Structure 1
Amino acid sequence: MPDVTVNDAGRHVVINLPQTRLFLFDKGQLVRTFPVAVGKMLTRTPTGSFEVTGIYRDPAWHVPRSIQEEMRARGKPVQTVVPPGADNPLGRMFIRFGEPGLGLGIHGTNAPGSVPGFRSHGCVRMKNEDVLALGGIVSPGTEVTVTYQTVLLNTDGNGDLWLTVYHNLYQHDDVSMRLLADTLLAWQKDNGRTLYGKRVDDALRERSGRPVCLSCAQPRPAKTDANWAALRWLSTPSREEGPATVTAPIPGERGSARQSLAPQRLSRS
Protein backbone atom coordinates (compact mmCIF):
# COMPACT_ATOMS: atom_id res chain seq x y z
CA MET A 1 0.00 0.00 0.00
CA PRO A 2 1.19 3.60 -0.51
CA ASP A 3 2.66 5.79 2.22
CA VAL A 4 -0.10 8.30 2.99
CA THR A 5 -1.02 9.86 6.33
CA VAL A 6 -4.59 8.72 6.95
CA ASN A 7 -7.32 10.00 9.23
CA ASP A 8 -7.19 8.01 12.47
CA ALA A 9 -10.57 9.25 13.67
CA GLY A 10 -12.82 8.36 10.74
CA ARG A 11 -12.98 6.87 7.26
CA HIS A 12 -10.46 7.77 4.59
CA VAL A 13 -10.25 6.75 0.92
CA VAL A 14 -6.77 6.55 -0.62
CA ILE A 15 -6.25 6.00 -4.37
CA ASN A 16 -2.76 5.28 -5.71
CA LEU A 17 -2.89 5.91 -9.45
CA PRO A 18 0.12 3.85 -10.68
CA GLN A 19 -1.16 0.92 -8.61
CA THR A 20 -4.76 1.25 -9.91
CA ARG A 21 -5.99 0.46 -6.40
CA LEU A 22 -8.33 2.13 -3.93
CA PHE A 23 -7.77 1.61 -0.20
CA LEU A 24 -10.48 2.23 2.40
CA PHE A 25 -9.32 2.99 5.93
CA ASP A 26 -11.44 3.25 9.07
CA LYS A 27 -9.87 4.87 12.15
CA GLY A 28 -6.45 4.40 10.59
CA GLN A 29 -6.91 0.70 9.83
CA LEU A 30 -7.14 -0.73 6.31
CA VAL A 31 -10.52 -2.43 5.89
CA ARG A 32 -10.98 -2.91 2.12
CA THR A 33 -8.94 -2.79 -1.10
CA PHE A 34 -10.54 -2.43 -4.55
CA PRO A 35 -9.18 -2.48 -8.13
CA VAL A 36 -9.93 0.69 -10.08
CA ALA A 37 -9.46 2.19 -13.53
CA VAL A 38 -8.05 5.71 -13.61
CA GLY A 39 -7.37 8.41 -16.19
CA LYS A 40 -5.57 7.75 -19.44
CA MET A 41 -2.30 9.54 -20.25
CA LEU A 42 -4.18 12.30 -22.09
CA THR A 43 -6.88 12.64 -19.41
CA ARG A 44 -4.99 12.05 -16.20
CA THR A 45 -6.70 11.77 -12.84
CA PRO A 46 -5.49 14.69 -10.71
CA THR A 47 -3.79 14.11 -7.39
CA GLY A 48 -4.64 15.95 -4.20
CA SER A 49 -6.73 15.98 -1.03
CA PHE A 50 -10.52 16.07 -1.38
CA GLU A 51 -13.74 15.17 0.41
CA VAL A 52 -16.77 13.20 -0.71
CA THR A 53 -19.35 15.82 -1.73
CA GLY A 54 -22.20 13.67 -2.99
CA ILE A 55 -23.38 10.06 -3.43
CA TYR A 56 -25.86 9.24 -6.20
CA ARG A 57 -27.38 5.83 -6.90
CA ASP A 58 -28.33 4.91 -10.48
CA PRO A 59 -27.27 8.31 -11.85
CA ALA A 60 -27.94 9.75 -15.28
CA TRP A 61 -24.78 10.68 -17.16
CA HIS A 62 -24.68 14.24 -18.43
CA VAL A 63 -22.08 13.85 -21.16
CA PRO A 64 -19.31 16.49 -20.96
CA ARG A 65 -18.84 18.61 -24.06
CA SER A 66 -15.32 17.25 -24.56
CA ILE A 67 -16.68 13.70 -24.80
CA GLN A 68 -19.48 14.85 -27.08
CA GLU A 69 -16.77 16.21 -29.40
CA GLU A 70 -15.01 12.82 -29.27
CA MET A 71 -18.28 11.13 -30.28
CA ARG A 72 -18.69 13.57 -33.15
CA ALA A 73 -15.09 13.12 -34.32
CA ARG A 74 -15.51 9.33 -34.37
CA GLY A 75 -18.73 9.54 -36.35
CA LYS A 76 -20.81 8.21 -33.46
CA PRO A 77 -24.23 9.53 -32.43
CA VAL A 78 -23.70 12.46 -30.08
CA GLN A 79 -25.42 11.92 -26.74
CA THR A 80 -26.00 14.66 -24.21
CA VAL A 81 -27.62 12.60 -21.45
CA VAL A 82 -27.49 8.84 -20.86
CA PRO A 83 -30.30 7.66 -18.54
CA PRO A 84 -29.75 5.10 -15.76
CA GLY A 85 -29.52 1.53 -16.99
CA ALA A 86 -27.23 -1.14 -18.36
CA ASP A 87 -25.70 1.17 -20.99
CA ASN A 88 -24.81 3.97 -18.58
CA PRO A 89 -20.99 4.39 -18.28
CA LEU A 90 -21.40 5.58 -14.67
CA GLY A 91 -22.84 2.22 -13.66
CA ARG A 92 -24.88 1.89 -10.49
CA MET A 93 -23.41 4.73 -8.42
CA PHE A 94 -21.49 7.99 -8.62
CA ILE A 95 -19.52 9.19 -5.58
CA ARG A 96 -18.45 12.76 -6.23
CA PHE A 97 -15.29 14.07 -4.58
CA GLY A 98 -14.09 17.65 -4.68
CA GLU A 99 -16.08 20.64 -5.85
CA PRO A 100 -18.81 19.85 -8.43
CA GLY A 101 -17.04 22.03 -11.00
CA LEU A 102 -14.10 19.63 -11.04
CA GLY A 103 -16.30 16.85 -12.40
CA LEU A 104 -14.41 14.23 -10.40
CA GLY A 105 -15.96 11.08 -9.02
CA ILE A 106 -15.69 7.42 -8.20
CA HIS A 107 -18.30 5.51 -10.18
CA GLY A 108 -19.38 2.16 -11.52
CA THR A 109 -19.15 1.05 -15.13
CA ASN A 110 -20.95 -0.72 -17.96
CA ALA A 111 -17.59 -2.27 -18.97
CA PRO A 112 -16.34 -4.25 -15.96
CA GLY A 113 -13.50 -5.72 -18.02
CA SER A 114 -11.90 -2.26 -18.12
CA VAL A 115 -11.12 -2.45 -14.40
CA PRO A 116 -8.29 -2.21 -13.40
CA GLY A 117 -6.37 -0.07 -15.86
CA PHE A 118 -5.76 3.41 -17.27
CA ARG A 119 -8.99 3.87 -19.21
CA SER A 120 -11.05 6.81 -17.96
CA HIS A 121 -11.38 10.49 -18.82
CA GLY A 122 -10.15 11.37 -15.33
CA CYS A 123 -12.67 9.80 -12.97
CA VAL A 124 -12.03 6.67 -10.91
CA ARG A 125 -13.92 3.67 -12.28
CA MET A 126 -14.94 0.63 -10.19
CA LYS A 127 -16.89 -2.53 -10.80
CA ASN A 128 -20.55 -2.00 -9.92
CA GLU A 129 -20.58 -4.36 -6.96
CA ASP A 130 -17.50 -2.64 -5.56
CA VAL A 131 -18.76 0.93 -5.91
CA LEU A 132 -22.06 -0.06 -4.27
CA ALA A 133 -20.10 -1.54 -1.35
CA LEU A 134 -17.96 1.59 -1.07
CA GLY A 135 -21.00 3.87 -1.33
CA GLY A 136 -22.61 2.04 1.56
CA ILE A 137 -19.64 2.84 3.80
CA VAL A 138 -18.49 6.37 2.96
CA SER A 139 -20.54 9.53 3.41
CA PRO A 140 -20.30 13.23 2.53
CA GLY A 141 -17.23 14.61 4.24
CA THR A 142 -15.20 11.39 4.00
CA GLU A 143 -11.61 12.29 3.14
CA VAL A 144 -10.26 11.25 -0.25
CA THR A 145 -6.55 11.33 -1.07
CA VAL A 146 -5.40 10.70 -4.63
CA THR A 147 -1.67 10.04 -4.76
CA TYR A 148 0.91 9.03 -7.36
CA GLN A 149 3.49 6.66 -5.88
CA THR A 150 5.32 4.30 -8.22
CA VAL A 151 7.68 2.94 -5.54
CA LEU A 152 6.15 1.27 -2.47
CA LEU A 153 7.93 0.06 0.65
CA ASN A 154 5.97 -2.19 3.03
CA THR A 155 6.74 -4.34 6.04
CA ASP A 156 5.02 -7.64 6.77
CA GLY A 157 4.10 -9.41 9.98
CA ASN A 158 7.59 -10.96 10.20
CA GLY A 159 9.28 -7.58 9.99
CA ASP A 160 10.60 -8.15 6.45
CA LEU A 161 10.81 -5.23 4.01
CA TRP A 162 9.14 -5.47 0.61
CA LEU A 163 9.61 -3.28 -2.46
CA THR A 164 6.98 -2.91 -5.21
CA VAL A 165 7.61 -0.78 -8.30
CA TYR A 166 5.06 0.30 -10.91
CA HIS A 167 5.44 1.95 -14.31
CA ASN A 168 5.49 5.76 -14.31
CA LEU A 169 2.78 6.02 -16.95
CA TYR A 170 2.07 9.72 -16.34
CA GLN A 171 5.82 10.46 -16.49
CA HIS A 172 5.73 12.48 -13.29
CA ASP A 173 8.88 13.61 -11.53
CA ASP A 174 9.11 10.86 -8.91
CA VAL A 175 10.53 12.22 -5.65
CA SER A 176 10.74 8.69 -4.24
CA MET A 177 13.67 7.89 -6.53
CA ARG A 178 15.71 10.61 -4.81
CA LEU A 179 14.86 9.23 -1.37
CA LEU A 180 15.03 5.47 -1.89
CA ALA A 181 18.76 4.85 -1.40
CA ASP A 182 19.00 6.70 1.91
CA THR A 183 15.73 5.14 3.11
CA LEU A 184 16.99 1.60 2.49
CA LEU A 185 20.34 2.28 4.17
CA ALA A 186 18.59 3.78 7.20
CA TRP A 187 16.19 0.80 7.46
CA GLN A 188 19.09 -1.64 7.27
CA LYS A 189 20.97 0.20 10.03
CA ASP A 190 17.92 0.67 12.28
CA ASN A 191 16.79 -2.96 11.99
CA GLY A 192 20.16 -4.73 11.85
CA ARG A 193 19.00 -6.63 8.77
CA THR A 194 20.72 -7.20 5.45
CA LEU A 195 18.98 -5.89 2.34
CA TYR A 196 19.78 -7.32 -1.09
CA GLY A 197 20.68 -4.59 -3.54
CA LYS A 198 20.41 -6.66 -6.71
CA ARG A 199 16.73 -7.21 -5.95
CA VAL A 200 16.31 -3.44 -5.76
CA ASP A 201 17.99 -2.98 -9.14
CA ASP A 202 15.90 -5.74 -10.73
CA ALA A 203 12.61 -4.38 -9.35
CA LEU A 204 13.34 -0.84 -10.52
CA ARG A 205 14.32 -2.07 -13.97
CA GLU A 206 11.35 -4.40 -14.44
CA ARG A 207 8.61 -2.28 -12.76
CA SER A 208 6.40 -5.34 -12.75
CA GLY A 209 4.17 -4.33 -9.83
CA ARG A 210 5.21 -7.55 -8.10
CA PRO A 211 6.28 -7.25 -4.43
CA VAL A 212 9.91 -8.28 -3.87
CA CYS A 213 11.28 -9.14 -0.42
CA LEU A 214 14.50 -7.19 0.15
CA SER A 215 15.37 -8.68 3.53
CA CYS A 216 14.47 -12.35 3.05
CA ALA A 217 17.48 -14.67 2.84
CA GLN A 218 15.75 -16.46 -0.03
CA PRO A 219 13.25 -14.81 -2.42
CA ARG A 220 9.67 -15.83 -1.71
CA PRO A 221 6.23 -14.89 -3.03
CA ALA A 222 4.31 -12.18 -1.24
CA LYS A 223 1.32 -13.03 0.91
CA THR A 224 -0.20 -9.63 1.59
CA ASP A 225 -2.59 -9.48 4.51
CA ALA A 226 -3.73 -7.21 7.30
CA ASN A 227 -0.24 -7.41 8.86
CA TRP A 228 1.30 -5.48 5.97
CA ALA A 229 2.01 -1.82 6.68
CA ALA A 230 3.39 1.02 4.59
CA LEU A 231 6.85 2.16 5.62
CA ARG A 232 6.67 5.82 6.61
CA TRP A 233 9.27 7.36 4.30
CA LEU A 234 7.42 9.78 2.00
CA SER A 235 4.77 11.17 4.37
CA THR A 236 7.14 12.29 7.14
CA PRO A 237 6.68 15.99 8.03
CA SER A 238 10.08 17.07 6.67
CA ARG A 239 9.40 15.42 3.31
CA GLU A 240 5.85 16.71 3.08
CA GLU A 241 7.28 20.23 3.34
CA GLY A 242 9.62 19.76 0.38
CA PRO A 243 12.28 17.55 -1.23
CA ALA A 244 15.00 16.31 1.08
CA THR A 245 18.72 16.34 0.30
CA VAL A 246 19.80 12.74 -0.18
CA THR A 247 22.75 10.71 -1.35
CA ALA A 248 23.06 10.33 -5.12
CA PRO A 249 23.03 6.82 -6.63
CA ILE A 250 26.39 5.07 -6.33
CA PRO A 251 28.09 3.28 -9.26
CA GLY A 252 27.59 -0.47 -9.34
CA GLU A 253 30.24 -3.06 -8.61
CA ARG A 254 32.54 -4.93 -10.96
CA GLY A 255 33.46 -1.76 -12.87
CA SER A 256 30.09 -1.55 -14.63
CA ALA A 257 29.49 1.69 -16.50
CA ARG A 258 25.82 1.52 -15.52
CA GLN A 259 24.97 3.16 -12.20
CA SER A 260 23.38 0.86 -9.67
CA LEU A 261 19.91 1.90 -8.60
CA ALA A 262 20.55 0.41 -5.15
CA PRO A 263 22.86 1.95 -2.52
CA GLN A 264 26.36 0.50 -2.41
CA ARG A 265 26.26 -0.71 1.18
CA LEU A 266 23.44 -3.19 0.49
CA SER A 267 24.32 -6.80 -0.20
CA ARG A 268 24.79 -7.36 -3.93
CA SER A 269 23.54 -10.95 -3.88
Structure 2
Amino acid sequence: MIKPVAFFHWLPLLMAASVFSLILPAHANTWPLPPEGSRVVGENRFHVVENDGGSLEAIAKKYNVGFLALLQANPGVDPYVPRAGSVLTIPLQTLLPDAPRVGIVINLAELRLYYYPQDKNVVTVYPIGIGQLGGDTLTPTMVTTVSDKRANPTWTPTANIRARYKAQGTILPAVVPAGPDNPMGHHAIRLAAYGGVYLLHGTNADFGIGMRVSSGCIRLRDGDIETLFRVVQPGTKVNIINTPIKTSVEPGGIRLVEVHQPLSKDIDDDPQTLPIVLTSAMKTFKAAPQTDADVMTKVLELRSGMPVDVTRHGEAVQQM
Protein backbone atom coordinates (compact mmCIF):
# COMPACT_ATOMS: atom_id res chain seq x y z
CA MET A 1 0.00 0.00 0.00
CA ILE A 2 1.36 3.40 -0.96
CA LYS A 3 1.09 5.75 1.99
CA PRO A 4 0.80 9.54 1.79
CA VAL A 5 3.23 11.61 3.80
CA ALA A 6 1.88 12.49 7.24
CA PHE A 7 2.33 16.13 8.16
CA PHE A 8 1.04 16.60 11.68
CA HIS A 9 4.63 16.90 12.90
CA TRP A 10 5.18 19.82 10.50
CA LEU A 11 2.37 21.88 12.05
CA PRO A 12 4.68 24.58 13.51
CA LEU A 13 6.28 25.07 10.09
CA LEU A 14 2.92 25.30 8.37
CA MET A 15 1.75 27.89 10.88
CA ALA A 16 4.88 29.89 10.10
CA ALA A 17 4.12 29.54 6.39
CA SER A 18 0.72 31.12 6.93
CA VAL A 19 2.42 34.13 8.50
CA PHE A 20 4.75 34.52 5.50
CA SER A 21 1.77 34.25 3.15
CA LEU A 22 0.36 37.45 4.63
CA ILE A 23 3.32 39.48 3.38
CA LEU A 24 3.77 37.84 -0.03
CA PRO A 25 1.63 37.95 -3.18
CA ALA A 26 -1.52 35.85 -2.90
CA HIS A 27 -0.37 33.17 -5.33
CA ALA A 28 3.21 32.75 -4.12
CA ASN A 29 3.74 29.28 -2.66
CA THR A 30 6.32 30.21 -0.04
CA TRP A 31 7.33 27.84 2.75
CA PRO A 32 9.76 27.97 5.66
CA LEU A 33 12.83 25.82 5.09
CA PRO A 34 12.59 22.44 6.85
CA PRO A 35 14.68 21.43 9.88
CA GLU A 36 18.24 20.23 9.37
CA GLY A 37 18.32 16.84 7.68
CA SER A 38 14.88 17.26 6.09
CA ARG A 39 13.94 18.15 2.51
CA VAL A 40 10.12 18.29 2.71
CA VAL A 41 8.30 21.57 2.18
CA GLY A 42 4.70 22.46 1.50
CA GLU A 43 1.42 20.72 2.03
CA ASN A 44 -0.94 19.26 -0.54
CA ARG A 45 -4.41 20.73 -0.75
CA PHE A 46 -7.66 19.43 -2.18
CA HIS A 47 -10.06 21.08 -4.60
CA VAL A 48 -13.68 20.09 -5.19
CA VAL A 49 -14.64 20.77 -8.81
CA GLU A 50 -17.76 22.90 -9.01
CA ASN A 51 -20.35 22.94 -11.78
CA ASP A 52 -18.76 24.71 -14.73
CA GLY A 53 -15.59 24.77 -12.63
CA GLY A 54 -13.38 25.49 -15.61
CA SER A 55 -10.52 23.58 -17.17
CA LEU A 56 -7.62 21.94 -15.36
CA GLU A 57 -5.45 24.85 -16.49
CA ALA A 58 -7.80 27.31 -14.73
CA ILE A 59 -7.57 25.28 -11.52
CA ALA A 60 -3.77 25.03 -11.84
CA LYS A 61 -3.59 28.81 -12.20
CA LYS A 62 -5.78 29.33 -9.12
CA TYR A 63 -3.31 27.41 -6.91
CA ASN A 64 -0.22 28.44 -8.92
CA VAL A 65 0.87 24.93 -9.82
CA GLY A 66 1.88 23.63 -13.23
CA PHE A 67 -0.60 22.04 -15.61
CA LEU A 68 1.29 18.75 -16.01
CA ALA A 69 1.97 18.58 -12.25
CA LEU A 70 -1.76 18.79 -11.60
CA LEU A 71 -2.45 16.22 -14.32
CA GLN A 72 0.13 13.77 -12.92
CA ALA A 73 -1.28 14.13 -9.41
CA ASN A 74 -4.77 13.34 -10.71
CA PRO A 75 -4.43 10.61 -13.38
CA GLY A 76 -7.54 10.04 -15.43
CA VAL A 77 -9.06 13.48 -14.89
CA ASP A 78 -10.47 15.22 -17.96
CA PRO A 79 -8.09 18.16 -18.58
CA TYR A 80 -10.74 20.18 -20.40
CA VAL A 81 -13.89 19.57 -18.36
CA PRO A 82 -13.11 17.99 -14.97
CA ARG A 83 -16.19 16.23 -13.61
CA ALA A 84 -18.20 18.35 -11.19
CA GLY A 85 -17.97 17.00 -7.64
CA SER A 86 -14.63 15.26 -8.20
CA VAL A 87 -11.88 15.96 -5.68
CA LEU A 88 -8.50 16.95 -7.08
CA THR A 89 -5.19 16.76 -5.24
CA ILE A 90 -3.28 20.03 -5.51
CA PRO A 91 0.43 19.00 -5.46
CA LEU A 92 2.01 21.69 -3.28
CA GLN A 93 4.15 19.32 -1.22
CA THR A 94 7.62 18.58 -2.57
CA LEU A 95 11.15 17.52 -1.71
CA LEU A 96 13.71 20.26 -2.16
CA PRO A 97 16.15 19.43 -4.98
CA ASP A 98 19.50 17.97 -4.02
CA ALA A 99 21.33 21.22 -4.76
CA PRO A 100 22.69 24.10 -2.68
CA ARG A 101 19.86 26.21 -1.30
CA VAL A 102 21.18 29.41 -2.81
CA GLY A 103 19.58 31.80 -5.27
CA ILE A 104 17.53 30.09 -7.97
CA VAL A 105 17.38 26.32 -8.51
CA ILE A 106 15.39 25.04 -11.49
CA ASN A 107 14.58 21.36 -11.92
CA LEU A 108 13.57 20.87 -15.54
CA ALA A 109 12.08 17.42 -14.97
CA GLU A 110 9.57 18.72 -12.43
CA LEU A 111 8.97 22.02 -14.23
CA ARG A 112 9.55 24.02 -11.04
CA LEU A 113 11.73 26.91 -9.96
CA TYR A 114 12.89 27.23 -6.35
CA TYR A 115 13.96 30.64 -5.10
CA TYR A 116 15.95 30.92 -1.87
CA PRO A 117 16.06 34.59 -0.82
CA GLN A 118 19.31 35.59 0.83
CA ASP A 119 19.26 35.77 4.64
CA LYS A 120 15.69 34.44 4.84
CA ASN A 121 14.81 30.94 6.01
CA VAL A 122 12.19 30.37 3.31
CA VAL A 123 11.80 29.03 -0.22
CA THR A 124 9.30 30.08 -2.88
CA VAL A 125 8.26 27.49 -5.47
CA TYR A 126 7.09 28.60 -8.91
CA PRO A 127 5.75 26.47 -11.79
CA ILE A 128 7.53 27.10 -15.08
CA GLY A 129 7.35 26.34 -18.77
CA ILE A 130 10.52 25.17 -20.52
CA GLY A 131 11.84 24.47 -24.00
CA GLN A 132 9.99 22.30 -26.49
CA LEU A 133 11.37 19.18 -28.09
CA GLY A 134 13.76 20.04 -30.90
CA GLY A 135 17.39 20.88 -31.49
CA ASP A 136 17.69 24.54 -30.50
CA THR A 137 14.56 24.74 -28.32
CA LEU A 138 15.72 22.52 -25.47
CA THR A 139 16.46 24.23 -22.16
CA PRO A 140 19.96 23.13 -21.10
CA THR A 141 21.23 22.36 -17.63
CA MET A 142 23.76 24.91 -16.39
CA VAL A 143 25.25 26.69 -13.41
CA THR A 144 25.27 30.42 -14.06
CA THR A 145 24.21 33.78 -12.67
CA VAL A 146 21.70 36.51 -13.43
CA SER A 147 23.43 38.99 -15.73
CA ASP A 148 20.68 41.54 -16.32
CA LYS A 149 16.97 42.19 -15.92
CA ARG A 150 14.63 44.35 -17.92
CA ALA A 151 11.04 45.54 -17.62
CA ASN A 152 8.92 45.77 -20.80
CA PRO A 153 11.50 43.84 -22.84
CA THR A 154 11.56 43.60 -26.60
CA TRP A 155 11.97 40.17 -28.19
CA THR A 156 14.60 39.51 -30.83
CA PRO A 157 13.85 36.01 -32.17
CA THR A 158 16.83 34.08 -33.44
CA ALA A 159 17.16 33.10 -37.08
CA ASN A 160 16.21 29.52 -36.21
CA ILE A 161 13.09 30.65 -34.36
CA ARG A 162 12.04 32.86 -37.27
CA ALA A 163 12.59 29.99 -39.70
CA ARG A 164 10.52 27.65 -37.55
CA TYR A 165 7.66 30.13 -37.34
CA LYS A 166 7.88 30.77 -41.09
CA ALA A 167 7.52 27.03 -41.75
CA GLN A 168 4.29 27.20 -39.76
CA GLY A 169 3.02 30.14 -41.78
CA THR A 170 3.92 32.99 -39.40
CA ILE A 171 6.36 35.73 -40.38
CA LEU A 172 8.07 37.19 -37.33
CA PRO A 173 9.60 40.67 -37.39
CA ALA A 174 13.27 41.06 -36.57
CA VAL A 175 12.28 42.67 -33.26
CA VAL A 176 8.95 42.29 -31.47
CA PRO A 177 8.29 45.47 -29.44
CA ALA A 178 7.12 45.52 -25.85
CA GLY A 179 3.37 45.22 -25.44
CA PRO A 180 0.50 42.72 -25.39
CA ASP A 181 1.77 40.85 -28.47
CA ASN A 182 5.19 40.20 -26.97
CA PRO A 183 5.43 36.53 -25.84
CA MET A 184 8.01 37.52 -23.20
CA GLY A 185 5.42 39.39 -21.15
CA HIS A 186 6.32 42.41 -19.06
CA HIS A 187 9.55 41.30 -17.33
CA ALA A 188 12.68 39.38 -18.29
CA ILE A 189 15.70 38.16 -16.32
CA ARG A 190 18.75 37.31 -18.44
CA LEU A 191 21.16 34.49 -17.59
CA ALA A 192 24.88 34.92 -18.19
CA ALA A 193 25.62 31.50 -19.72
CA TYR A 194 25.55 30.73 -23.46
CA GLY A 195 26.06 34.36 -24.37
CA GLY A 196 22.91 35.51 -22.60
CA VAL A 197 20.40 33.83 -24.95
CA TYR A 198 18.40 32.21 -22.14
CA LEU A 199 16.02 34.22 -20.00
CA LEU A 200 13.43 33.85 -17.29
CA HIS A 201 10.43 35.79 -18.55
CA GLY A 202 6.68 36.24 -18.40
CA THR A 203 4.11 35.38 -21.03
CA ASN A 204 1.20 36.90 -22.90
CA ALA A 205 -0.64 33.56 -22.90
CA ASP A 206 -2.59 31.96 -20.06
CA PHE A 207 -1.75 28.43 -21.17
CA GLY A 208 1.60 26.65 -21.05
CA ILE A 209 2.96 27.06 -17.52
CA GLY A 210 4.09 23.67 -16.29
CA MET A 211 4.60 22.43 -19.84
CA ARG A 212 7.26 22.29 -22.56
CA VAL A 213 6.18 25.23 -24.66
CA SER A 214 9.00 27.76 -25.04
CA SER A 215 11.83 28.21 -27.52
CA GLY A 216 14.33 27.34 -24.78
CA CYS A 217 13.78 30.07 -22.20
CA ILE A 218 12.11 29.57 -18.81
CA ARG A 219 8.57 30.94 -18.78
CA LEU A 220 6.63 32.02 -15.66
CA ARG A 221 3.17 33.43 -15.06
CA ASP A 222 3.20 37.21 -15.21
CA GLY A 223 2.59 37.71 -11.48
CA ASP A 224 5.41 35.32 -10.63
CA ILE A 225 8.01 36.87 -12.90
CA GLU A 226 7.03 40.32 -11.64
CA THR A 227 7.71 39.21 -8.07
CA LEU A 228 10.95 37.45 -8.98
CA PHE A 229 12.06 40.46 -11.03
CA ARG A 230 11.62 42.69 -8.00
CA VAL A 231 13.68 40.59 -5.59
CA VAL A 232 16.39 39.00 -7.76
CA GLN A 233 19.52 41.03 -8.48
CA PRO A 234 22.31 40.62 -11.06
CA GLY A 235 24.87 38.17 -9.74
CA THR A 236 22.26 35.85 -8.20
CA LYS A 237 23.32 32.22 -8.66
CA VAL A 238 21.16 30.09 -10.98
CA ASN A 239 21.47 26.29 -11.00
CA ILE A 240 19.45 24.41 -13.66
CA ILE A 241 19.30 20.64 -13.17
CA ASN A 242 17.32 17.75 -14.67
CA THR A 243 16.41 15.27 -11.94
CA PRO A 244 13.15 13.30 -12.29
CA ILE A 245 13.67 11.39 -9.01
CA LYS A 246 14.26 12.90 -5.58
CA THR A 247 14.74 10.89 -2.38
CA SER A 248 15.07 11.79 1.28
CA VAL A 249 15.65 10.06 4.59
CA GLU A 250 13.79 12.34 6.96
CA PRO A 251 14.53 12.85 10.65
CA GLY A 252 13.05 9.85 12.43
CA GLY A 253 13.91 7.52 9.55
CA ILE A 254 10.94 8.11 7.21
CA ARG A 255 12.08 7.44 3.64
CA LEU A 256 10.45 9.48 0.89
CA VAL A 257 10.56 9.28 -2.90
CA GLU A 258 9.22 11.83 -5.39
CA VAL A 259 9.09 10.74 -9.03
CA HIS A 260 8.35 12.95 -12.04
CA GLN A 261 7.99 11.98 -15.65
CA PRO A 262 11.40 12.21 -17.35
CA LEU A 263 11.72 14.69 -20.19
CA SER A 264 10.97 13.20 -23.60
CA LYS A 265 13.74 13.18 -26.18
CA ASP A 266 11.53 12.33 -29.16
CA ILE A 267 8.01 13.39 -30.15
CA ASP A 268 6.85 9.75 -30.00
CA ASP A 269 8.15 9.18 -26.46
CA ASP A 270 5.62 8.52 -23.71
CA PRO A 271 7.05 10.17 -20.57
CA GLN A 272 4.84 7.99 -18.38
CA THR A 273 6.59 4.84 -19.60
CA LEU A 274 10.07 6.12 -20.52
CA PRO A 275 12.72 4.16 -18.62
CA ILE A 276 14.09 5.95 -15.58
CA VAL A 277 17.76 5.27 -14.91
CA LEU A 278 18.56 5.12 -11.21
CA THR A 279 21.83 6.60 -10.04
CA SER A 280 24.04 4.50 -7.79
CA ALA A 281 22.84 6.51 -4.79
CA MET A 282 19.21 5.83 -5.67
CA LYS A 283 19.92 2.13 -6.20
CA THR A 284 21.47 2.05 -2.74
CA PHE A 285 18.43 3.87 -1.34
CA LYS A 286 16.06 1.34 -2.92
CA ALA A 287 18.12 -1.70 -1.81
CA ALA A 288 18.38 -0.54 1.81
CA PRO A 289 16.54 -2.79 4.28
CA GLN A 290 14.61 0.24 5.54
CA THR A 291 13.09 0.78 2.07
CA ASP A 292 10.07 -1.17 0.84
CA ALA A 293 11.43 -1.92 -2.64
CA ASP A 294 8.05 -3.15 -3.95
CA VAL A 295 6.36 0.11 -2.99
CA MET A 296 9.20 2.11 -4.50
CA THR A 297 8.83 0.17 -7.75
CA LYS A 298 5.15 1.14 -7.87
CA VAL A 299 6.01 4.76 -7.16
CA LEU A 300 8.48 4.70 -10.06
CA GLU A 301 5.67 3.43 -12.30
CA LEU A 302 3.01 5.89 -11.09
CA ARG A 303 5.19 9.01 -11.39
CA SER A 304 2.73 11.17 -9.45
CA GLY A 305 5.21 13.99 -8.83
CA MET A 306 4.49 13.98 -5.09
CA PRO A 307 6.55 12.69 -2.12
CA VAL A 308 5.52 9.17 -1.11
CA ASP A 309 6.48 7.22 2.03
CA VAL A 310 8.38 4.08 0.96
CA THR A 311 9.56 3.13 4.45
CA ARG A 312 9.47 -0.57 5.27
CA HIS A 313 7.49 -0.82 8.49
CA GLY A 314 7.06 -3.49 11.14
CA GLU A 315 8.77 -6.84 11.65
CA ALA A 316 10.14 -6.94 8.10
CA VAL A 317 12.82 -4.41 8.99
CA GLN A 318 13.75 -6.10 12.25
CA GLN A 319 14.22 -9.49 10.56
CA MET A 320 16.59 -8.18 7.88
Aligned to 1:86: 180
Would you say 1:167 and 2:269 are equivalent positions? Answer: no
Whole-angstrom distance in 2 between the partners of 1:216 and 1:133: 42
1:35 to 100, 124, 127: 127
Q: Percent identity?
A: 28
- Could you give the per-residue CA deviations for residues 4-58 of structure 1, whole angstroms, max 9, x where no partner exists? 1234xxxx10000000000011348442000000111212111110000001011
Q: 1:266 to 1:168 in 2, by over 3 A?
A: farther
In structure 2, the residue corresponding to 1:60 is in which secondary structure? coil
Is the CA contact 1:22–1:33 (under 8 Å) kept in the aligned structure 2?
A: yes
Would you say 1:3 and 2:93 are equivalent positions? Answer: no
Aligned to 2:108: 17
Q: 1:143 to 1:175 in 2, by over 3 A?
A: farther
Aligned to 2:302: 206
> How many angstroms does 1:217 deviate by?
5.1
Would you say 1:147 and 2:241 are equivalent positions? Answer: yes
Whole-angstrom distance in 2 between the partners of 1:40 and 1:77: 20
- What TM-score comes out, normalization by structure 2 length? 0.60
In structure 2, the residue corresponding to 1:70 is in which secondary structure? helix
Opposite residue 121 of structure 1, the aligned amino acid is S
Select between 59-68 and 170-179 the one with higher mean Cα deviation.
170-179
Q: 1:69 to 1:157 in 2, by over 3 A?
A: same
Is the CA contact 1:44–1:170 (under 8 Å) kept in the aligned structure 2?
A: no
Would you say 1:181 and 2:283 are equivalent positions? Answer: yes
> How many angstroms does 1:121 deviate by?
1.1
- What TM-score comes out, normalization by structure 1 length? 0.70
Whole-angstrom distance in 2 between the partners of 1:48 and 1:266: 40
Aligned to 1:196: 292
- Could you give the per-residue CA deviations for residues 158-216 of structure 1, whole angstroms, max 9, x where no partner exists? 65221111122245997743321213455x6xxxxx32211110111222323211127
Select between 167-176 and 208-217 the one with higher mean Cα deviation.
167-176
- Could you give the per-residue CA deviations for residues 46-82 of structure 1, whole angstroms, max 9, x where no partner exists? 1110000001011111121111112221122332211
Aligned to 1:112: 206
Unaligned runs of 5+ in 1: 189-193, 219-264
Select between 38-47 and 16-25 the one with higher mean Cα deviation.
38-47
Q: 1:196 to 1:266 in 2, by over 3 A?
A: farther
Whole-angstrom distance in 1 between the partners of 2:227 and 2:161: 28
